[in-house]
Amino acid sequence: MCHCTMLMGSVVLVVALPAAWAAERQELAAELQDDRIAVSVDGKLFTAYKFATSQKYPYFWPVNGPVSEKSVTTESSQPYPHHHSLFFGCDKVNGGNYWQDMNARGQIISQGPKIVDASGVRVTFTDECLWERPGMEPVIRDTRQITISAPDDNLRFIDFDITLHMLTDVRIERTNHSLFSARVRPELSVESGGRIVNAEGKENHEGTHGIPSVWCDYSGAWDDGAVEGMAIFQHPENRWYPAPWFTRDYGFFSPTRMNWLDEGHLEFKQGETLRLRYRVVVHTGDAAAADIAGLWQQYEQGAEQPKAEGS
């Protein structure tokens, strides 16, 4: 196992990389294209970070499978069209809604992402976003770093590191509409024959909803029988780790504590921060074939590495 150190502000993030990557890792490139950053793997589009100020919030779309080159997520789909692929948001924040599709109720507005590492075995970019309603002062400023890599032909990683900076006293009411979330394509959903599975082997909405688990995976088969999917890992240093999961058989899954708040709300004082980190694994095959459990162990071991001297 080798380790790579990446600087994020004054925080050093250590990411574990399997030794086998030396022979198998793919070349990536990130390019700013108007209101998105397009990320390619060996010249083929993998994902794009979309950040237009007209959007409710920035999000990733497409998120293409390693083999099919079709997005395993949907940019918008019934019955909840405000689920945009792979995204971060929250409802009921100081009376605002930073989740559903009415911008007058609140937006998470990108201030313009910056590419840090444009090419190589990984690409990295940062963004700063303001959570605000029209005519009102922003209530939260978030800073985020996204690192994308491809350890082999069958795997893609998105490491998402976000810190919320409270610009005023913040109160979040109990809500299921919250935090890091993904909406898979209807073709891959449980309703179409797909499968949700967590780290304990529990399956689908019935077995995973409301259950704390370090990871959850969603996979299914395309029309040609090929199987692809997506897993989300929770970083061991996240608050509420491991958070329970909000899962739906129609294609949604999210690790969030906000639907199970003990007192029905959560409060932060002005100046407080909340840092949350996740790894998204886009993979060929189901969770077993992709060895999601083994990939989780590598991620966990990397998270436990000591920070670099002087950090």
* Res 82: pLDDT: 87
Element (DSSP H or E) covering residue 283? strand 273-284
14 belongs to a structural domain: no
241 to each of 59, 64, 139, 212, 265, how far by Cα in Å? 23, 28, 25, 8, 18
2 belongs to a structural domain: no
Q: Residue 79 — pLDDT band, cuts 50, 70, 90?
A: confident
Summarize pLDDT for 7-54 with one digit per residue, the tens: 444 333 444 444 444 446 789 999 999 999 999 999 999 999 999 999
Say how far residue 138 (Cα) sits from the centre of its chain: 23
Asked if pLDDT for residue 4 goes beyond 70, the answer is no
Top-confidence residue, 183 or 309: 183
Measured CA to CA, the distance from residue 229 to residue 292 in angstroms comes to 11
Residue 130 is given by DSSP the state: E
Entry pTM: 0.90
E strand segments, 36-139:
36-41, 44-50, 59-63, 86-93, 96-98, 107-110, 114-117, 119-120, 122-132
> How high is the mean pLDDT of the chain?
91
Asked if pLDDT for residue 2 goes beyond 70, the answer is no
* Res 1: pLDDT: 43
Q: What domain range includes position 57?
A: 25-299
116 belongs to a structural domain: yes
* Res 12: pLDDT: 38
* Res 306: pLDDT: 53
Give the CA angle between residues 300, 244, 11 to the nearest 5°: 40
* Res 25: pLDDT: 75
235 belongs to a structural domain: yes
168 belongs to a structural domain: yes
* Res 24: pLDDT: 65
306 belongs to a structural domain: no
Summarize pLDDT for 222-259 with one digit per residue, the tens: 999 999 999 999 999 999 999 999 999 999 999 999 99
* Res 77: pLDDT: 83
Summarize pLDDT for 164-222 with one digit per residue, the tens: 999 999 999 999 999 999 999 999 999 999 999 999 999 999 999 999 999 999 999 99
17 belongs to a structural domain: no
CATH, residue 183? 2.70.98
Q: Tally the domains of the chain.
A: 1
Q: Residue 305 — pLDDT band, cuts 50, 70, 90?
A: low
13 belongs to a structural domain: no
Give the list of residues 6+ apart from residue 182 with CB closer than 8 angstroms, or none: 73, 85, 86, 87, 218, 230, 232, 252, 253, 254, 280
Measured CA to CA, the distance from residue 46 to residue 156 in angstroms comes to 8
Q: What percent of the chain has pLDDT over 70?
A: 90
Closest CA to 284 of 21, 84, 22, 64: 64
The mean pLDDT of 62-83, rounded to a whole number, is: 93
